[in-house]
Amino acid sequence: MFTRVQFVTLAVFAAISAVRAALPANCARNYTVHLFDTCNEISADLNVSTYQLALVNPQIDAGCDNLGEGEPLCLGITGQDCTTTYVIQTGDNCDLITTNENVARSTLLANNPNVNSDCSNIYPGEVLCTANTVVPYTS
């Protein structure tokens, strides 16, 4: 029989494992968080849009303040993984981005639902999906 302490310890490990094992089965690519990582850096370095990283990892809070060292992140779901991305620079606007990245504005907005229709809420360091086809996100 387990002692109470052993049982509690096992329960805690099981809970941690459940959190750590949170990658979806249909995860196309993954990344393990390092100390001092930020969502913007992960997005920029690994070509995953700000929207997609948040969509696929609902455990990340809105300010991206709760990343844990060693935490596995899914970067994209198979069939819904935009890998064509652009990191917004100071002074960018949607006209510049659509021209330079050769993507229709309607497609840019469809693939980045976090961007408002007049693009007034984009910010330097944000990563946009600039694929020129609409990614079939299901959630």
Ligand X SMILES: *[C@@H]1O[C@H](CO)[C@@H](O)[C@H](O)[C@H]1NC(C)=O
64 is a site residue for ligand X (CB under 6 A) = no
Instruction: Give me the DSSP letters along 46-82.
Output: HT--HHHHHHH-TTS-TT-----TT-EEEEEETTB--
Size of the site for ligand X (CB under 6 A): 5
Of 130, 127, 81, the closest CA to residue 110 belongs to 130
Q: CB of 36: closest distance to ligand X in angstroms? A: 19
Window contacting ligand X (CB under 6 A); options: 10-18, 22-30, 34-42, 122-130: 22-30
Contact 85, 129 (CB under 8 A): yes
46 is a site residue for ligand X (CB under 6 A) = yes
50 is a site residue for ligand X (CB under 6 A) = no
30 is a site residue for ligand X (CB under 6 A) = yes
Q: CB of 65: closest distance to ligand X in angstroms? A: 24
CA atoms within 13 A on the CB side of 87: 10
Written as six digits, the tokens of 126 are 């944000």
Q: CB of 39: closest distance to ligand X in angstroms? A: 15
CB within 8 Å of 54: residues ≥ 6 apart: 39, 60, 114
110 is a site residue for ligand X (CB under 6 A) = no
Q: CB of 8: closest distance to ligand X in angstroms? A: 28
Query: Using CB under 6 A as the criterion, which residues of the chain lie in contact with ligand X when the complex forms?
Result: 23, 27, 30, 46-47
